[in-house]
Structure 1
C-alpha cells in the first residue's frame, strides 16, 4: 500500500467561523514523506501538522509557528484523514480554515474533485499497542485501545430536550464516513453564540454553518440531518484531531464528553511511551502488516 496525495490542486473561498471574513484556501499535492503542511500565504509561514505545533484547543484545534496561527483545522483534517491522504499542502490567506456548512461534507467533495494519487513510497500506520486514557475529575474521558480495526465510539449527555444522551459507534469505511459522519454539523447554544460574539468570536457563525439551539429547540428551519447529529459531529471532530498523530490510526478511540483539548492531551500521551504504539509499514508482506492493510483497505476511496 502506497502513500497518497491529491492528483490536482483545487481551491475554495469561504467564511471563517470566528472572524467572519472571506478566506481563500488551496489544496496542493506533495511528494512522499512530506506530511500535511499548512502555509499562510499572507505571512509566508509554513506550519507542519505536528503535535508540538498545537497552540490552542479551547474552541477549536489551532496550530501555530512564529506567532502565526491557523485555526479550526479539524473539519478539513477529518476529511483528509478519511480519504487516506498522507501528504498535502494547505495554502490559506487568513488565520482560519473556511467553515463551509459546519460539517466536512464540502471538503469530501473538494478532495474528490481534486482526485487521489498514489505515490512511490509505502504508507505507514500507527498501531495502538496498549490502553491509553485521559480522564478528568468530572467524568470526561478520551481513550485509545488496541484493535485490528479503525473504530470511533463516542457518547455525550447534555441537559437539553433535543440532545440528551447520545452514543454512536463508527467502524471505519470511506462510504460510511461520507454518509454517516461527514454531513454532521457543528453546534452551539444561542446564549453561547451571543457571548462569543460579544468577545469578538463566532462572527461568521450562522444558521447556514451550524446547528443553533435555544433552551428548548433547534432554531435551524430545516431541522437536523440526523436525530443524533450532535454526537456524530463529535466523532467528525475526533477524527480530525487524531490526524495530529501523523499516521493512519489502527485502534479504537473511545470517548465520553470528549473535547479538542482532551484529544490533544491524548495524542501527546501516545508518544510519551514507546510501548503505547508501533509504526507499521503497510508495504511489508508479513502476516501482521497484512492485518493492518486489511484494516486500512476499508477506507479506500
Structure 2
C-alpha cells in the first residue's frame, strides 16, 4: 500500500549555501499524488516542482530541482532519503526559500519529525520499478550501476587522500528499518580546503561544524568526532537513496556506487529510463513490501546521534 503522513510537520533551520533561515513544512497528500515541492515565497510564476529525476538541473554540490518556470529548490537529497527511508510515497513539501534546511547534515531531523507525525497507510496499491538488467554510467572516474535484485540494496565505495576518511566500503539492504537505523544519522562531510574555497566563492555560508563533518588530513575538526567509524561512506549511501527516490517510485534492484555522487546517480536514472527494456513497473506484493525501506519501522530503530 501507498503511505503518507498522519499529520503535517514543520522544521525550521537554515540553508547550507545561503545561510538564511528556512521554514519547511511536509504535508500529507492523497494516494497517487507523489512527492511535490512548493516554493511558498514564489507568487509570480508556477511554484510547484515535481520531485523527479528529469527536473534535476544541478548536481555540483547538492541536488537541485527546477520546473519549466525557473522555480528551484536545492539540497533536496537528505529530505528525499528520509521520505524514501520511512516509506512516504505521497507528500507536499512547502519551503519558503530556495534551499531545504541543512539541519545537522544528515536525514535524522527529518526522520524524527516524520516518525513523530506518524505514518498513514492508504488504500491504493504501491508500484515499484523493478530492474531487469544492468545499467551502468561511468563519468570522470565515477561509476554507478543498477542491477537486478530481490530488494533495494545499496553498495558504496569511497577513497579519499585524507587519512581521516581513507578508503571505506559498505553494502546494505534497505529493509526492516535499515535506513532509519544504519544510515539516517550519518552526516555530510567535506575537507577543510573545500570549505575555504566554497566560502570564498560565496557558497556554504550556512555551513559549519554543527551541520557537517570537516576533516583536515588525519584530523576530524568536529569535537565529537565521527558518529560511526565509517560515517562518510554511510552518508554517501544516504545520498544515493535520496537521489534514487527521484525515480518517482521505489526501486527494486541493487545500486553500486564507486566514488559516485549526485551527478552519477542522476545520470544513472536518466540512462535507466532511456532503456525501457532494463526495467518494468510492477504492483508490489505483500512479500515485496516487506523488503522495502519503510516496512516494519520501530521507534527503537531510530538513534539521532
TM (norm. structure 2) is 0.93
CA gap of 1:154–1:134, structure 2 versus 1, over 3 A, is: same
Residue 213 (structure 2) aligned to one of 199, 206, 211: 211
- TM-superposition CA deviations, 1:221-279 (whole Å, max 9, x none): 01111111110000000000000111111110001000100100001111111111111
Contact 2:177 2:296 in 1 (8 A): no
The 4+ residue runs of structure 1 with deviation greater than 4 A are: none
Could you tell which deviates more after superposition, 75-84 or 174-183?
174-183
* Aligned position for 1:115: 118
Contact 2:177 2:294 in 1 (8 A): no
Number of corresponding residues: 293
Contact 1:84 1:300 in 2 (8 A): no
Contact 1:82 1:174 in 2 (8 A): no
Q: What is the CA distance between 1:83 and its match in structure 2?
A: 1.1
Q: What is the CA distance between 1:179 and its match in structure 2?
A: 2.3
2: CA distance, partners of 1:163 / 1:191? 15
* Aligned position for 1:151: 153
Contact 1:82 1:299 in 2 (8 A): no
* Aligned position for 1:20: 19
Q: Which ranges in structure 1 are unaligned for 5 or more consecutive residues?
A: 283-288
- TM-superposition CA deviations, 1:152-188 (whole Å, max 9, x none): 0000111111111100111112532222101110001
* Aligned position for 2:2: 3
Q: Any residues of structure 2 matched to 1:1-301 within 5 Å, and which? A: 2-44=1-43, 45-65=47-67, 66-136=69-139, 138=141, 140-282=142-284, 289=285, 291-296=287-292, 299-301=295-297
2: CA distance, partners of 1:152 / 1:160? 24
Q: What is the CA distance between 1:291 and its match in structure 2?
A: 4.9
Contact 2:11 2:25 in 1 (8 A): yes
CA RMSD of aligned residues (A): 1.3
Question: Residue 123 of structure 2 aligns to a residue in which SS?
Answer: strand
2: CA distance, partners of 1:72 / 1:137? 22
Contact 2:86 2:180 in 1 (8 A): no
Q: Which ranges in structure 2 are unaligned for 5 or more consecutive residues?
A: 298-305
2: CA distance, partners of 1:300 / 1:148? 17
CA gap of 1:131–1:106, structure 2 versus 1, over 3 A, is: same
